[in-house]
Copies of this chain bind each other. A is one copy, B any other.
Amino acid sequence: MKNDRKLVVIALGGNAIKQADEIGTAYEQFRNVAITCKQLVKMNELGYKLILTHGNGPQAGNLLIQQEEAKQIVPPQPLDVCGAMTQGQIGYMFQNQLQNFFRKKGKNIPITTVITQVLVSKDDPDFDDPTKPVGPFYTKDQAMELNKTKGYIVKQVRPNGEKQWRRVVPSPDPIGIIEANCIKALVKARAIIIASGGGGIPVVEKSDGQLVGIEAVIDKDKAGQKLAEVVDADIFLILTNIENAYLNYSMPNQKKLGEISISQAEKYLREGHFLSGSMGPKMLACIRFIKAGGERAIITSLDRAIDTLQGNAGTHIVP
């Protein structure tokens, strides 16, 4: 039995926290987060219940560089622990800024970040051929050394420059949200929750049932979809740097997509209209959400989010 207020899970892109031309000071990040939160507060005022999830690429990247630079003095933490750290970091910024917007309006709303582990299958095919680059760039020699000493899988990721190599890790599919019951309890208490940041802390279930963190990065839109599914959200909203998805994007015959059915979305995805590192996983996440029983999945930009929820913008995927 659904409550009358619709529950929206919002997946925020990296630009909601750190712009590409910024170095990532706390000042910059709080400012960007504030811009995002202003829109989130409007959604709350429109009557939506909110759960946020977000990327952590730039923050995890910075942390990995810091760990690298200090590795002679301080032991670097593995990727699962780094992911947990960025969940705390970014979550704090969102809950602080959201809280402040509501305080301005004299509203006392429970808001918090839930540190979230996301289950992946230890048999996920992505473990066989990791493709997600993480951390600093290395010279070939450094990369080979890391492969030898730490077992890192390394790949050449750019054709020139002094440092062309990076570590790559698997990006397995999310199959469960370990803290789902906590998040549901908070939704019930009418809280705004920040969860599954950076795609969640990836854990596998060993044959004895124990959950073990792994060195991997889950796509944040896919993890956001799984989160939206397990909390029984009505709407899954992906906010990115573009207002709509397109057919034949950046070609003369490009066509903006408004509301499309799940079968149209599947057809367009199959036909290769959406870039694999960009709109592709977003569209796939939307398709999965509708297949799992969701009412509406939306892709749009932050500044059109309100218009979009009112049906006047964005790309909508519906059953």
Give A contacts to B, CB under 8 Å.
Answer: 23-26, 62-63, 65-70, 73-75, 77-78, 80-81, 84-89, 91-93, 95-96, 99-100, 103-104, 108, 110-117, 178-179, 181-182, 185-186, 188-189, 191, 194, 201, 203, 208-211, 213
Contact = CB atoms under 8 A, between A and B. Distances in A.
Nearest to A189: B185
Contacts of A67: 66
Contacts of A85: 63, 85-86, 88-89
A74 B84 contact: no
30 contacts: A23-B75, A26-B81, A63-B66, A66-B69, A66-B70, A69-B69, A84-B93, A85-B89, A88-B89, A95-B115, A95-B117, A95-B179, A96-B213, A99-B178, A99-B211, A100-B211, A103-B210, A104-B209, A108-B181, A110-B179, A110-B181, A111-B179, A112-B179, A112-B182, A113-B115, A114-B114, A115-B115, A181-B189, A185-B186, A185-B188
A186 B80 CA distance: 24
Nearest to A88: B88
A185 B110 contact: yes
B66 A74 contact: yes
Nearest to A100: B210
Nearest to A67: B66
B88 A211 contact: no
Contacts of A103: 209-211
Contact of A91 (B80, B84, B95): B84
Given A87-B92, A110-B181, A114-B114, 15 more contacts: A62-B75, A63-B66, A65-B73, A65-B74, A66-B66, A66-B69, A68-B70, A87-B115, A88-B89, A88-B91, A95-B179, A100-B211, A110-B185, A182-B189, A185-B186
Nearest to A78: B26
Contacts of A26: 75, 77-78, 81
Nearest to A183: B112
A77 B89 contact: yes
Contacts of A114: 112-114
Contacts of A89: 77, 81, 84-85, 88
Given A65-B74, A99-B178, A209-B104, A88 B115 contact: yes
A89 B84 CA distance: 5
Contacts of A203: 96
Contacts of A69: 66, 69-70, 73
Contacts of A99: 117, 178, 211
B178 A182 contact: no
A33 to B, nearest CB: 12
Contacts of A91: 84, 88, 115
A66 B209 CA distance: 35
Contacts of A87: 88, 92, 115
